[in-house]
């Protein structure tokens, strides 16, 4: 059952997010935003910010973010439909339901599976045959995967163009509605279908019946999030589906064990190493639904994450799964510093050894604690014991806890009785959480170990995005009317910043960009939406300075690379940069933006290998429009043309094509009068750029013939 999209939009627009959050959090105004203590993690200093105008919140402590619907879902434990219904009731909106999503018919499901099958075939053929797919093939080779592996797992590649898949499938008879329903396409601001996946390595995701229902996609080149995944759809629910289960279920049953990996290439690596009973989640954390699905085939589950990811898992969660689903859950200690896709090339037997030697999660965690600490002195052994006991205290079974007491005592040469007394103190802290929980987290962090649960960390925008990029992104979010069309993502410094700007530009509104963003991009967008505006006299001049400053920095960086490589094309770029610097120094924002646009176009053409723009003259010509006997006269210096009546007034200045141009006109706002004291109507002088057609030929593209016979 689904609520109509227009009713969801009405609820979002009508609900006052400050009123919704204010029922749970004490908010105080701080500038143009509201600030309070985050309800999702413990904190003393308020870091939870709300932007009522944009309808979003963001916590600078734990990075929780979203809109009013997200907040109600998280704070009250509701699903999406329930949260929308709850908010609709508060503002008097009667929501309507989409009967098509209330019960997807067999015909609808078949049509959507058909369009997914067509997409799998399209992407796979593109990977195997298209010259443009060479980066995808090179990446697979670098991970040890050949054409046989690509065919076995139906790996594909999505073209970098805007709508190649959408056009191909529509021309083949698939409907616009089905392409949108399964998330292969989206509607852009021009109401045209645009491919959701572009320039990515494509991993098709199948359900248990071997029907394609979604994709995981890895970025190959350029800007954007490293991984994106299909959105939930009528045929795909990522919290329930496991990648590779369609291939692995037989091996899982015959071996009575399942290995859960982190990613798609991990499943491929395990499978090619002979461990065919491996699966992976599809861009989400492991959920109750995933565990329940696996119990249909086995009660023995091995977690094969890298050491840090496994160490951050919640012990109480693992123990709860073991009790609730009657399973045995262990952890494979993978080779240090390598994921399965790396390890299988160098030492496939190491993967087998890690799986065969899997240990209970709590034992795995204690081993990491012992390895990170010393036990030479009594003080160090006592400190290690406190950290280890705090981890043991999270286990709900008293018999299991007592068993680990003996292991800790033996390892640290301490008396079990003293450890039992300390453990009892920790357990009394509360059900499912020890009194020393916060102390343990701080201590584990001191030992250099990752810790589970929420923690205050530096936000992604702060950690990965430069100050200049942040200012430009803030302007893209809040000052859309000032944002120039020529400013493209490739000008930004970091991949994350480029991905954020790409997301902003692809959608008609910031709200839509936020809704459809991957997790890392969404967090940055939400943070930008709640940040205060800069304190500047003129937002227009400030925006211009940021935009052209960004272009200048990108141009200078490219000039340096061209110089290092001995590339003579730097002489073509230099005039535009010179013009840009001069305009910035003069505070002439009109000329600066014109030069900035040219430099941006030049960088983009160089980046894509297309024709470079015509060369900009470092010295702009001056066009003078002057009255001559009530007729307009256009005089252009340099190599331009001049038009005038033959009997115009006499003025002092150099001759241009037989006419006289006044020297150094004096500018007074929009009015200009010549130095000789011309008392007629005002001069109208404007600067224009001269261009010379000196296009660079495009770079040659080699054929790169690939197919089943030679790969």
Task: Give the residue-averaged pLDDT of 479-499.
Answer: 82
pLDDT at res. 586: 80
β-strand partners of 66: 57
Q: Do 638 and 687 contact (CB within 8 A), yes or no?
A: no
Q: Residue 174, Cβ neighbours under 10 Å: how many?
A: 22
Task: Give the residue-averaged pLDDT of 251-261.
Answer: 92
Q: Do 169 and 115 contact (CB within 8 A), yes or no?
A: yes
Q: CB neighbours of 462 closer than 8 A, spacing ≥ 6?
A: none
Confidence of residue 205 (pLDDT cuts 50, 70, 90): very high
Q: Is the pLDDT at 681 greater than 60, yes or no?
A: no
Task: Give the residue-averaged pLDDT of 606-615.
Answer: 73
pLDDT at res. 309: 52
DSSP 616-672: EPSS-EEEEEEEETTEEEEEE-TTS-EE--TTPPP--S-EETTEE--SSPEEETTEE
Q: From start to end of 377-485, where are the E strands?
A: none
Q: Is the pLDDT at 45 greater than 70, yes or no?
A: yes
CA dihedral 333, 337, 341, 346 (to 10 degrees): -100
pLDDT at res. 308: 55
pLDDT at res. 663: 40
Cα–Cα distance measured from residue 226 to residue 216, given in angstroms and rounded to the nearest whole number? 11
pLDDT per residue as tens digits for the range 576-604: 888 888 888 887 888 888 888 888 888 88
Confidence of residue 664 (pLDDT cuts 50, 70, 90): very low
CA dihedral 554, 557, 559, 560 (to 10 degrees): 180
Percent of the chain having pLDDT more than 90?
Answer: 22
Q: What angle (nearest 5°) sits at the alpha carbon of residue 244, between those of residues 315 and 265?
A: 80
Of 701 and 596, the structure prediction assigns the larger pLDDT to: 596
pLDDT at res. 439: 41
Longest CA span, the chain: 113
Alpha helix segments (H runs only) across 225-337: 245-255, 264-272, 288-294, 307-312, 315-325
Confidence of residue 135 (pLDDT cuts 50, 70, 90): very high
Cα–Cα distance measured from residue 695 to residue 476, given in angstroms and rounded to the nearest whole number? 32
Confidence of residue 323 (pLDDT cuts 50, 70, 90): confident
- Write down all domains in the chain, each with its CATH number in brackets: 2-101 (3.90.580.10), 104-236 (3.90.980.10), 360-446 (no CATH), 462-616 (no CATH), 621-688 (no CATH)
Cα–Cα distance measured from residue 548 to residue 597, given in angstroms and rounded to the nearest whole number? 8
Q: CB neighbours of 367 closer than 8 A, spacing ≥ 6?
A: 333, 359
Cα–Cα distance measured from residue 348 to residue 355, given in angstroms and rounded to the nearest whole number? 11
Q: Is the pLDDT at 614 greater than 90, yes or no?
A: no
Retrieve residue 592's tokens: 């600066």
Cα–Cα distance measured from residue 477 to residue 500, given in angstroms and rounded to the nearest whole number? 10
Of 245 and 223, the structure prediction assigns the larger pLDDT to: 245
pLDDT per residue as tens digits for the range 87-134: 998 889 988 876 655 444 557 878 999 999 999 999 999 999 999 999
Q: Do 372 and 447 contact (CB within 8 A), yes or no?
A: yes
Q: Is the pLDDT at 398 greater than 50, yes or no?
A: yes
Of 707 and 416, the structure prediction assigns the larger pLDDT to: 416
Of 294 and 459, the structure prediction assigns the larger pLDDT to: 294
- The DSSP secondary-structure symbol of 445 reads H
Task: Give the residue-averaged pLDDT of 544-555.
Answer: 84
Residue recorded with tokens 């970098």: 160
Cα–Cα distance measured from residue 695 to residue 311, given in angstroms and rounded to the nearest whole number? 57
Nearest alpha-carbon partner for 161 in 137, 194, 187: 194
Confidence of residue 448 (pLDDT cuts 50, 70, 90): very low
Of 256 and 509, the structure prediction assigns the larger pLDDT to: 256
Of 697 and 129, the structure prediction assigns the larger pLDDT to: 129
Q: Is the pLDDT at 259 greater than 90, yes or no?
A: yes
Q: What angle (nearest 5°) sits at the alpha carbon of residue 607, between those of residues 602 and 610?
A: 70
Of 219 and 646, the structure prediction assigns the larger pLDDT to: 219
Confidence of residue 634 (pLDDT cuts 50, 70, 90): very low
Retrieve residue 194's tokens: 């645009």
Confidence of residue 666 (pLDDT cuts 50, 70, 90): very low
Q: CB neighbours of 561 closer than 8 A, spacing ≥ 6?
A: 567
Cα–Cα distance measured from residue 177 to residue 112, given in angstroms and rounded to the nearest whole number? 9
What is the separation, in whole angstroms, between the first and last Cα of the chain?
Answer: 46
β-strand partners of 214: 205
Q: Do 273 and 319 contact (CB within 8 A), yes or no?
A: no
- When the pLDDT of each residue in the chain is averaged and rounded to a whole number, the result is 76
pLDDT at res. 373: 66
β-strand partners of 36: 48
pLDDT at res. 132: 94
Q: Is the pLDDT at 391 greater than 60, yes or no?
A: yes
pLDDT per residue as tens digits for the range 502-545: 888 887 777 778 777 777 788 888 888 888 788 888 888 888 88
pLDDT per residue as tens digits for the range 400-440: 888 888 888 888 888 888 888 888 888 776 433 343 444 44
Task: Give the residue-averaged pLDDT of 327-342.
Answer: 79
Task: Give the residue-averaged pLDDT of 266-294.
Answer: 90
Of 151 and 554, the structure prediction assigns the larger pLDDT to: 151
Nearest alpha-carbon partner for 163 in 146, 143, 188: 188
Q: Is the pLDDT at 220 greater than 80, yes or no?
A: yes
Cα–Cα distance measured from residue 529 to residue 476, given in angstroms and rounded to the nearest whole number? 10
pLDDT per residue as tens digits for the range 137-152: 999 999 989 999 999 9
Distance from the Cα of residue 404 to its chain's centroid: 42
Strand 56-59 with 48-51, pairing: antiparallel
Q: Is the pLDDT at 665 greater than 70, yes or no?
A: no
Cα–Cα distance measured from residue 144 to residue 104, given in angstroms and rounded to the nearest whole number? 41
Confidence of residue 307 (pLDDT cuts 50, 70, 90): low
3-state helix, strand, coil in the chain (%, to 5): 45, 15, 40
Task: Give the residue-averaged pLDDT of 372-385.
Answer: 75
Task: Give the residue-averaged pLDDT of 246-275.
Answer: 92
Nearest alpha-carbon partner for 499 in 711, 245, 222, 247: 222
pLDDT at res. 430: 40
Q: Is the pLDDT at 231 greater than 50, yes or no?
A: yes
Retrieve residue 335's tokens: 């080779």
Cα–Cα distance measured from residue 201 to residue 133, given in angstroms and rounded to the nearest whole number? 9
């Amino acid at each position: 059952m689904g609520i109509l999209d227009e009713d969801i939009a009405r609820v979002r627009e009508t609900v006052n997010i400050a009123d919704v959050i204010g029922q749970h959090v004490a908010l105080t105004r701080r500038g143009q935003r509201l600030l309070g203590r985050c309800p999702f993690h413990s904190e003393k200093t308020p870091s939870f910010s709300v932007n009522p105008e944009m309808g979003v919140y963001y916590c600078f402590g734990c990075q929780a973010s979203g809109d009013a619907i997200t907040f109600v879902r998280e704070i009250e434990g509701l699903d999406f439909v329930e949260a929308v219904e709850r908010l609709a009731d508060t503002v008097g909106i009667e929501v309507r339901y989409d009967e098509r999503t209330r019960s997807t018919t067999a015909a609808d499901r078949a049509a959507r599976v058909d369009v997914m099958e067509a997409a799998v075939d399209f992407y796979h053929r593109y990977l195997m045959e298209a010259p443009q797919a060479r980066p995808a093939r090179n990446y697979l080779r670098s991970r040890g995967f050949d054409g046989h592996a690509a065919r076995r797992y139906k790996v594909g590649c999505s073209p970098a163009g805007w709508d190649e898949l959408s056009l191909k499938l529509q021309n083949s008879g698939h409907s616009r509605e089905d392409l949108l329903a399964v998330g292969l396409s989206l509607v852009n601001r021009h109401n045209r279908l645009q491919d959701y996946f572009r320039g990515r390595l494509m991993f098709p995701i199948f359900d248990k019946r071997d029907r394609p229902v979604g994709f995981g996609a890895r970025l190959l080149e350029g800007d954007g999030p490293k991984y994106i995944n299909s959105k939930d759809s009528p045929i795909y629910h990522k919290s329930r589906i496991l990648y590779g289960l369609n291939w692995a279920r037989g091996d899982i049953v015959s071996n009575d064990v399942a290995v859960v990996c982190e990613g798609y290439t991990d499943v491929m690596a395990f499978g090619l190493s002979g461990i065919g009973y491996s699966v992976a989640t599809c861009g989400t954390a492991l959920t109750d639904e995933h565990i329940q699905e696996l119990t249909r085939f086995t009660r023995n589950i091995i977690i094969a994450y890298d050491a840090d990811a496994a160490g951050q898992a919640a012990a109480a969660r693992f123990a709860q799964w073991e009790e609730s689903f009657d399973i045995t859950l262990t952890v494979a200690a993978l080779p240090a510093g390598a994921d399965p896709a790396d390890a299988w090339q160098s030492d496939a037997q190491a993967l087998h050894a890690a799986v065969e030697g899997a240990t209970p999660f709590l034992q795995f965690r204690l081993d990491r604690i012992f390895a990170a600490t010393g036990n030479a002195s009594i003080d160090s052994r006592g400190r290690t014991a406190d950290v280890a006991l705090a981890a043991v205290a999270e286990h709900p079974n008293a018999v299991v806890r007592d068993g680990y007491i003996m292991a800790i005592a033996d390892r640290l040469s301490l008396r079990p009785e003293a450890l039992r007394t300390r453990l009892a103190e920790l357990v009394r802290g509360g059900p499912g959480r020890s009194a020393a929980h916060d102390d343990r987290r701080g201590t584990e962090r001191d030992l250099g170990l990752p810790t589970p649960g929420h923690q205050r960390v530096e936000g992604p925008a702060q950690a990965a995005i430069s100050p200049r990029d942040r200012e430009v992104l803030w302007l893209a979010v809040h000052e859309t009317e000032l944002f120039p069309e020529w400013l493209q993502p490739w000008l930004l410094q970091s991949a994350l910043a480029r991905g954020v700007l790409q997301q902003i530009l692809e959608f008609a509104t910031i709200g839509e960009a936020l809704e459809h963003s991957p997790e890392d991009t969404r967090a940055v967008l939400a943070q930008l939406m709640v940040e205060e505006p800069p304190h500047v006299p003129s937002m227009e001049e400030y925006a211009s300075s940021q935009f052209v400053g960004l272009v200048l920095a990108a141009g200078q960086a490219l000039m340096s690379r061209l110089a290092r490589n001995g590339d003579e094309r730097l002489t073509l770029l230099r005039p535009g940069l010179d013009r840009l610097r001069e305009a910035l120094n003069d505070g002439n924002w009109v000329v600066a933006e014109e030069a900035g646009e040219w430099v941006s176009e030049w960088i983009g053409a160089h980046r894509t290998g297309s024709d470079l723009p015509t060369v900009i003259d470092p010295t702009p010509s001056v066009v003078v429009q002057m009255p001559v006997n009530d007729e307009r006269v256009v005089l252009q210096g340099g190599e331009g043309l001049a038009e005038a009546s033959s009997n115009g007034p006499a003025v002092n200045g150099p001759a241009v094509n037989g006419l006289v141009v006044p020297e150094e006109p004096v500018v007074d706002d929009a009015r200009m009068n010549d130095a000789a004291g011309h008392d007629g109507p005002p001069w109208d002088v404007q600067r224009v750029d001269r261009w010379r057609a000196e296009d660079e030929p495009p770079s040659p593209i080699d054929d790169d013939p690939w197919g089943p016979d030679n790969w």
